[in-house]
Homo-oligomer: A and B are copies of this chain.
Protein backbone atom coordinates (compact mmCIF):
# COMPACT_ATOMS: atom_id res chain seq x y z
CA UNK A 1 0.00 0.00 0.00
CA UNK A 2 1.33 3.44 -0.95
CA UNK A 3 1.44 6.46 1.30
CA UNK A 4 -1.71 7.98 -0.17
CA UNK A 5 -3.83 5.01 0.84
CA UNK A 6 -2.16 4.78 4.23
CA UNK A 7 -2.99 8.44 4.63
CA UNK A 8 -6.65 7.85 3.83
CA UNK A 9 -6.93 4.88 6.18
CA UNK A 10 -5.23 6.60 9.09
CA UNK A 11 -6.53 10.12 8.49
CA UNK A 12 -2.99 11.46 8.74
CA UNK A 13 -1.47 13.67 6.01
CA UNK A 14 1.36 12.06 4.01
CA UNK A 15 3.78 14.68 5.34
CA UNK A 16 3.02 13.61 8.88
CA UNK A 17 3.47 9.95 8.01
CA UNK A 18 6.88 10.65 6.49
CA UNK A 19 7.73 12.60 9.60
CA UNK A 20 6.70 9.67 11.80
CA UNK A 21 9.05 7.48 9.81
CA UNK A 22 11.84 10.04 10.17
CA UNK A 23 11.59 9.95 13.94
CA UNK A 24 11.37 6.18 13.98
CA UNK A 25 7.77 5.60 15.02
CA UNK A 26 7.05 3.43 11.99
CA UNK A 27 9.26 1.49 9.60
CA UNK A 28 7.42 0.85 6.34
CA UNK A 29 9.15 -1.23 3.66
CA UNK A 30 10.25 0.21 0.32
CA UNK A 31 9.28 -0.88 -3.17
CA UNK A 32 11.86 -1.15 -5.94
CA UNK A 33 10.95 2.37 -7.11
CA UNK A 34 11.65 3.82 -3.68
CA UNK A 35 8.00 4.25 -2.73
CA UNK A 36 7.07 3.43 0.84
CA UNK A 37 5.12 0.20 1.14
CA UNK A 38 2.78 0.04 4.12
CA UNK A 39 1.74 -3.29 5.59
CA UNK A 40 -1.38 -3.82 7.71
CA UNK A 41 0.76 -3.54 10.79
CA UNK A 42 2.09 -0.14 9.71
CA UNK A 43 -1.36 1.21 9.02
CA UNK A 44 -2.55 -0.17 12.33
CA UNK A 45 0.21 1.76 14.07
CA UNK A 46 -0.69 4.92 12.18
CA UNK A 47 -4.29 4.63 13.33
CA UNK A 48 -3.06 4.10 16.86
CA UNK A 49 -0.86 7.19 16.55
CA UNK A 50 -3.64 9.33 15.10
CA UNK A 51 -5.92 8.45 17.99
CA UNK A 52 -3.32 8.86 20.70
CA UNK A 53 -2.33 12.25 19.30
CA UNK A 54 -6.00 13.26 19.10
CA UNK A 55 -6.17 12.55 22.84
CA UNK A 56 -3.25 14.91 23.29
CA UNK A 57 -0.48 12.42 24.07
CA UNK A 58 2.93 13.78 23.12
CA UNK A 59 5.04 12.03 20.53
CA UNK A 60 7.22 10.63 23.29
CA UNK A 61 4.13 9.35 25.09
CA UNK A 62 3.12 7.73 21.83
CA UNK A 63 6.53 6.15 21.43
CA UNK A 64 6.22 4.61 24.89
CA UNK A 65 2.64 3.52 24.31
CA UNK A 66 3.61 1.92 21.00
CA UNK A 67 6.47 0.05 22.67
CA UNK A 68 4.07 -1.24 25.30
CA UNK A 69 1.59 -2.08 22.61
CA UNK A 70 4.23 -4.13 20.84
CA UNK A 71 5.28 -5.81 24.05
CA UNK A 72 3.12 -8.83 24.76
CA UNK A 73 4.36 -9.06 28.33
CA UNK A 74 3.74 -5.44 29.37
CA UNK A 75 1.91 -4.73 32.58
CA UNK A 76 -1.25 -2.69 32.19
CA UNK A 77 -0.03 -0.58 35.12
CA UNK A 78 2.68 0.88 32.89
CA UNK A 79 0.15 2.06 30.37
CA UNK A 80 -2.14 3.30 33.09
CA UNK A 81 0.67 5.38 34.59
CA UNK A 82 1.24 7.21 31.31
CA UNK A 83 -2.46 7.83 30.86
CA UNK A 84 -2.93 8.93 34.45
CA UNK A 85 -0.06 11.36 34.21
CA UNK A 86 -1.44 12.79 31.01
CA UNK A 87 -4.86 13.06 32.63
CA UNK A 88 -3.49 15.22 35.45
CA UNK A 89 -1.84 17.51 32.92
CA UNK A 90 -5.15 17.89 31.11
CA UNK A 91 -6.91 18.68 34.37
CA UNK A 92 -4.35 21.37 35.18
CA UNK A 93 -4.73 22.86 31.74
CA UNK A 94 -8.52 22.96 32.04
CA UNK A 95 -8.25 24.67 35.42
CA UNK A 96 -5.85 27.26 34.03
CA UNK A 97 -8.00 27.92 31.01
CA UNK A 98 -11.09 28.33 33.14
CA UNK A 99 -9.35 30.91 35.32
CA UNK A 100 -8.27 32.78 32.20
CA UNK A 101 -11.77 32.46 30.83
CA UNK A 102 -13.29 33.96 33.98
CA UNK A 103 -10.95 36.93 33.98
CA UNK A 104 -11.31 37.58 30.30
CA UNK A 105 -15.06 37.20 30.08
CA UNK A 106 -15.44 39.65 32.96
CA UNK A 107 -13.28 42.09 31.02
CA UNK A 108 -15.24 41.67 27.84
CA UNK A 109 -18.45 42.07 29.80
CA UNK A 110 -17.24 45.30 31.39
CA UNK A 111 -16.18 46.79 28.09
CA UNK A 112 -18.66 49.07 26.39
CA UNK A 113 -17.22 48.10 23.03
CA UNK A 114 -18.17 51.38 21.43
CA UNK A 115 -16.30 54.14 19.66
CA UNK A 116 -15.01 55.77 22.84
CA UNK A 117 -11.32 55.43 23.68
CA UNK A 118 -11.96 54.47 27.30
CA UNK A 119 -11.35 50.73 27.59
CA UNK A 120 -11.40 48.69 30.80
CA UNK A 121 -9.62 45.79 29.12
CA UNK A 122 -6.46 47.76 28.43
CA UNK A 123 -6.70 49.34 31.85
CA UNK A 124 -6.78 45.96 33.51
CA UNK A 125 -3.91 44.63 31.44
CA UNK A 126 -1.83 47.44 32.89
CA UNK A 127 -2.72 46.84 36.48
CA UNK A 128 -4.35 43.58 37.48
CA UNK A 129 -2.28 41.43 39.84
CA UNK A 130 -0.61 38.29 38.59
CA UNK A 131 -2.70 35.97 40.74
CA UNK A 132 -6.31 36.82 40.07
Contacts and interface: CB of A to CB of B under 8 A. Distances in A.
Interface of A: 11, 44, 47-48, 50-52, 54-56, 65, 68-69, 72-77, 79-81, 83-84, 86-87, 90-91, 93-94, 97-98, 100-101, 103-105, 107-108, 111-122, 125-126, 128, 130
Contacts of A116: 75-76
Given A48-B125, A90-B104, A104-B90, A119 B79 contact: yes
A73 B117 contact: yes
Contact of A77 (B48, B50, B113): B113
Most buried by B among A79, A87, A94: A79
A27 B96 CA distance: 31
Number of copies of this kind of chain in the complex: 2
Nearest to A122: B69
Contacts of A114: 75-77
17 contacts: A56-B97, A69-B122, A74-B119, A75-B114, A76-B111, A76-B113, A76-B119, A76-B120, A79-B111, A79-B119, A83-B104, A84-B108, A87-B101, A87-B104, A87-B108, A91-B101, A94-B101
Given A83-B104, A94-B97, 14 more contacts: A51-B128, A51-B130, A73-B117, A74-B119, A76-B115, A76-B119, A76-B121, A80-B108, A80-B112, A80-B113, A81-B113, A83-B107, A83-B121, A93-B97
